A and B are shown apart, each in its own frame.
Chain A
């Protein structure tokens, strides 16, 4: 069986942790001829199997947004190429809806004064391997990522995000929020890479993970690589349970502990969903999250 190596950590570390890359059987994922799809402003695309390449492009000073749903039990592979020309703004929403095995990648070129906003939601998913590479080549280029995930049972998620700062005064802001149950497994690698010459650049990364069962397996790998003096980089991670003071307060309001975790997890994911400005997409996501029931 052919093995493929995906999601390589930009700088490898201790081998025994098994976080330097993700190895998978190629046959489990998308096969067949690659399909090319150009996504115009306001497009909604759906991928339920096979291999697709999506192109999202914004010309100088233009704004473009697109939504891609990844669903269905078939194996699939998708690449999304994003080009934001000088002064352009691109917003891309990707929703993995209880998908079968999937390999996804987002490659973004962000020019001078351009901005790329990525919203990704992983709701379930048998085995998802997702790579995100943002090339902040232009001066004042900006990248913002809001990522949410809900994992249960034996679901697996492996993410490798790299924000590469080449442009002066480039900015990245990465926020990841997730909840894990059952015996699900997740690896999040997030790298802020300040290349020499990126003076004035700023990068911030944060991950909050709620673990709700004792059989979950969470790996968090937040890297900062720095070859420039005049930069500001930070990362933070909070893994495990909810703050005891917060639990105490909610219990004092009559909410049982298991419900507190459920509500907290939902509210964190809701913060990611709130970044989806397309109403139909937000409704569709909310319907999945509530299992068709109204909140309240």
Chain B
């Protein structure tokens, strides 16, 4: 009788691997040159300060070396990446006005349906530009602003606010890809929640990179005033090509006094993508940032959302899961800076490696001199599903005050034989037992997501156990 080993299947990406051909006349040239950057500025009608900012960022990009740690990005040739693709469509507030191929893309991804059923507003970016943005009437009437960043920049009500905040948390000098972002950024969302407004239904932006050999550089800027609440969901995907693609987005979050922002991401880029994204939150007194992060796609990821706890009693929570399969090297984690008294942080992450995938948890917790009375706890667990994969844990704690309480724990291992044996003694097959254990392992993240996204995540994990044992 043919024997088949028990195995956990790779994530089923067929849902995301459809694509439409781009008209190459819509592409600006490849690489980073002053001419291309000026052309982007012309396309967008940038203000003078933004034109200068882009060119200055390009200079910083040219001077800044690559980082000397993390996964190899040798396969990424920036000179061959198309940094900007002209949109076929102006931005719309009605799906019926969006061109058919783009609308069909988002229909397949379930975005309009989600908007109808469970979201307060939706933004949809296709390649370099937003093609759709809409927010429910009652949400707009509460004073919440949810629009594309570029429209907001050209709106005199928000222009100064954006000028004051844009790339102040993540300056172009931060690292090479932050500089690249500053030079060629395009698209993204702007959210402003006024004082005391609590938005109980989430907003969602979805970023789709359809074009071959291209980069996506969207910028998300969210400002929460005092005592406000927002849940923002970000989704990303791309079809698979053989050419490398690049995602170097930037997320800047300002959380006001006693405000709470939950920022959820389900990232499912295709396995030709380099995901070099930068996310950062600045949290004021009594405020809270909650990151929920699922990393499933991309060939290489560098992703470490940073929380700067800048006001007394500010809090940060990070809940994440990373699933690295064949051909993937996913380097993920979080950074927390305790910069004020009585701040607290909690990090809880899980990672799964299989079929030669490499998963790395990387973190930094810094408790500064001013952060007396602060507390931090980090917990990370890794699961190895075979012996050809790899899983590394690289945490750092830098503590500069005696009045802190910092704890860290990490575990690595495989599915325990004893647990499988126990479940089998209760009547489950070995396949069912292992599937149950792996689903349970990912539970910390799925229970933090809205139901429909938890279902999507379970689909993404696609943990399919099959075959007879032995």
Task: Show the binding face of A for B, using Cβ within 8 Å.
Answer: 11-15, 17, 19-20, 194, 196, 199, 209, 211-241
Q: Please name all residues of chain B whose beta carbon is closer than 8 Å to the beta carbon of A235 when the two chains form the complex.
A: 393, 408-410
- A232 near B393: Cβ-Cβ < 8 Å: no
| Interchain CB contact under 8 A, A237 and B396 | no
In the assembled complex, the Cα of A285 lies from the Cα of B257 at a distance in Å of 52
Q: How far is the CA of A220 from the CA of B395 in the complex (A)?
A: 8
Task: Determine whether the beta carbon of A240 is less than 8 Å from that of B411.
Answer: no
Assess whether A229 is in contact with B411, with CB atoms less than 8 Å apart. Answer: no
Residues A219 and B69 in contact in the complex (CB < 8 Å), given A211-B404, A240-B404: no
Evaluate whether A234 and B387 lie within 8 angstroms (CB atoms) in the complex, with A213-B402, A220-B397 already known: no
Tell me whether A237 and B411 are in contact in the complex, defined as CB-CB below 8 angstroms, given that A214-B402, A223-B392, A223-B393 are known contacts: no
Query: Known pairs A196-B387, A229-B414, A231-B413. 15 more at Cβ < 8 A?
Result: A14-B362, A14-B364, A20-B69, A194-B412, A216-B401, A219-B398, A220-B408, A231-B412, A233-B410, A235-B410, A236-B407, A239-B397, A240-B406, A241-B402, A241-B404
Closest 3 CB pairs of A and B: A211-B402, A12-B69, A239-B406
| CB-based contact B404/A226 at 8 Å | no
Whether B399 sits at the interface, judged by CB under 8 Å, is yes
Q: How far is the CB of B354 from chain A (nearest CB, A)?
A: 10
User: Is the C-beta of B134 less than 8 angstroms from some C-beta in chain A?
Assistant: no
Question: In the assembled complex, which residues on chain A have CB atoms less than 8 Å from the CB atom of B397?
Answer: 218-221, 237, 239
Contact A11–B394 (Cβ < 8 Å): yes
Q: Given A12-B69, A13-B394, A19-B396, are A226 and B384 neighbors across the interface (CB < 8 Å)?
A: yes
Contact A237 B403 (CB under 8 A): no
- Chain A, Cβ-Cβ closest to B400: A217
- A151 CB to closest chain B CB (Å) equals 13
* CB neighbours of B382 from chain A (8 A): 224, 226
**Bound Cα distance A217, B408 (Å):** 17
Bound form: Cα–Cα A224–B399 in Å? 21
* A227 and B402 form a contact (CB under 8 A): no
Instruction: For the complex formed, measure the closest distance between the CB of A89 and the CB atoms of chain B, giving whole angstroms.
Output: 28
**Distance between Cα atoms of A230 and B385 in the complex (Å):** 9
Question: Does B69 contact A13, Cβ atoms closer than 8 Å?
Answer: yes
A230:B412 contact, CB within 8 angstroms: no
Q: Is the CB of B396 within 8 A of A17?
A: yes
10 contacts between A and B (CB under 8 A): A17-B398, A211-B399, A216-B400, A216-B401, A225-B393, A226-B393, A227-B387, A229-B389, A233-B411, A239-B404
Residues of chain A within 8 A (CB-CB) of B330 are: none
Question: Could you tell me which B residues sit within 8 Å of A by CB distance?
Answer: 67-69, 335, 362, 364, 366, 369, 372, 382, 384-387, 389-414
Q: How far is the CA of A218 from the CA of B411 in the complex (A)?
A: 23
Shortest CB-to-CB span from B321 to chain A, Å, is 17
Residues of A within 8 A of B401 (CB): 211, 214, 216
A149 CB, nearest partner CB in chain B, Å? 15
**Inside 8 A of A11's CB, which chain B residues have their CB?**
69, 392, 394
Distance between Cα atoms of A11 and B394 in the complex (Å): 8
Q: Is B68 a contact of A15 with CB atoms below 8 Å? A: yes
Chain B residues contacting A230 (CB-CB under 8 Å) are: 387, 414
What residue in chain B is nearest A227 (Cβ atoms)?
A: B390
Cβ-defined contact, B394 with A223, below 8 A: yes
Least distance between B263 CB and chain A CB atoms (Å)? 21
Whether B391 and A238, one on each chain, are in contact in the complex, defined by CB atoms closer than 8 angstroms, is no
Say whether, besides A15-B68, A15-B69, A240 and B399 are in contact (CB < 8 Å). yes
Query: B413 contacts which chain A residues (CB < 8 A)?
Result: 231-233
Interface residue from B369, B395, B412 paired with A226 (Cβ < 8 Å) = B412
Closest chain B residue to A19, Cβ basis: B396
CB pair A214 B69 closer than 8 Å: no
Most buried by A among B382, B397, B411: B397
Contact indicator B384/A220 (Cβ below 8 Å): no
The complex places the Cα of A214 from the Cα of B396 at a distance, in Å, of 20
Minimal Cβ-Cβ distance residue in B for A18: B398
Q: Which of A11, A13, A221 has the most CB of B within 10 A?
A: A13
Check if B405 sits within 8 Å of A240, measured CB to CB: yes
Determine how close the nearest CB of chain B comes to the CB of A20; give it in whole angstroms: 7
Say how far B329's CB is from chain A's closest CB, in angstroms. Answer: 13
In the docked arrangement, what's the CA distance between A211 and B374, Å? 14
| Complex Cα spacing A223 to B391, Å | 11
- Which chain A residue shows the least CB distance to B362? A13
Give the chain A neighbours of B403 by CB distance below 8 A: 214, 240-241
Give Cα A215–Cα B404 distance, bound, in whole angstroms: 12
Expressed in whole angstroms, the minimum distance between the Cβ of B465 and any Cβ of chain A is 16
- Bound Cα distance from A194 to B389, whole angstroms: 12
Instruction: Name the residue on B nearest A224 (C-beta).
Output: B393
B343 to chain A, nearest CB (A): 14
- Within the assembled complex, what's the spacing in Å between the Cα atoms of A134 and B457? 41
Query: Within the assembled complex, what's the spacing in Å between the Cα atoms of A199 and B407?
Result: 29
A233-B396 in contact (CB<8A)? no
Which residues of the partner chain A approach B386 to less than 8 Å between Cβ atoms? 229
Give the shortest distance, in Å, between A137 (CB) and chain B (any CB): 19
Alpha-carbon separation in the docked complex, A225 to B358 (Å): 11
Query: Which chain A residue lies CB-closest to B398?
Result: A219
Contact, CB under 8 Å: A17 / B406: no
Closest to B415 in A: A229
Flag if B409 contacts A241 (CB, 8 Å).
no
Write the chain B residue with the least CB distance to A181: B402
B365 CB to closest chain A CB, in angstroms? 9
Q: How far is the CB of A212 from chain B (nearest CB, A)?
A: 6
Identify which of A12, A209, A241 contacts B68 (C-beta below 8 A).
A12
A225 touching B399, Cβ below 8 Å: no
**Could you tell me the distance in whole angstroms from the C-beta of A192 to the nearest C-beta in chain B?**
9
A228 proximity list for chain B (CB < 8 A):
384, 387
State which of B69, B362, B412 has its C-beta within 8 Å of the C-beta of A232.
B412
Q: When A226-B382, A235-B409 are in contact, do A216 and B69 touch as well, CB less than 8 Å? A: no
Docked-complex contact A234 and B411, CB < 8 angstroms: yes
Q: Output the nearest chain B residue to A219 by Cβ-Cβ distance.
A: B398
A214/B399 in contact, CB under 8 A: no
Cβ contact within 8 Å between A239 and B412: no
B residues less than 8 Å from A17 (CB atoms)? 364, 366, 396, 398
B contact residues around A216 at 8 Å (CB):
399-402
Instruction: Please determine whether B409 and A236 come into contact, CB atoms closer than 8 angstroms.
Output: yes
Q: Tell me how far the C-beta of B51 lies from the nearest C-beta in chain A, rounded to whole angstroms.
A: 30
